[in-house]
Amino acid sequence: MTIIEKIEREQLRMDIPEFNAGDTVKVHMRIIEGEKERIQVFQGAVIRISKGTTNATFTVRKISDGVGVERVFPMHSPSIERVEVVQEGRVRRSRLYYLRNLKGKAARIKPKNRW
């Protein structure tokens, strides 16, 4: 194991729950405004997960006032307070870019049936 791999392994977070594309998640982000710090929640569907070590990311899409908003979060960022899985979705793809062209009820993701 090289020195770089050791340093990367120290930076990884292990408290992130397992989720996949299509799941609805709440991402609690630590926002710093001047001297004040607050937590802002971003809730939406995961449309993409990019795996890796310290460069792993996931993209969350939500609809805000009729406008689609996507945000890319670094998986191991210290500014992420926590990630909650609200609902697991049943999808057949790992990249859900087609949701960008859908509106209203057509953009819904079916929930995963748990027996």
In terms of pTM, does the model score above 0.95?
Answer: no
Q: Which domains does the chain have, with CATH numbers?
A: 3-94 (2.30.30.790)
Handedness of CA 33, 86, 17, 72 (dihedral sign): negative
pLDDT tier at 113, thresholds 50, 70, 90? confident
The whole-number average pLDDT for the span 57-62 is: 96
Comparing 99 with 14, which gets the higher pLDDT?
Answer: 99
- Tens digit of pLDDT for each residue in 60-94? 999 999 899 999 999 999 999 999 999 999 999 99
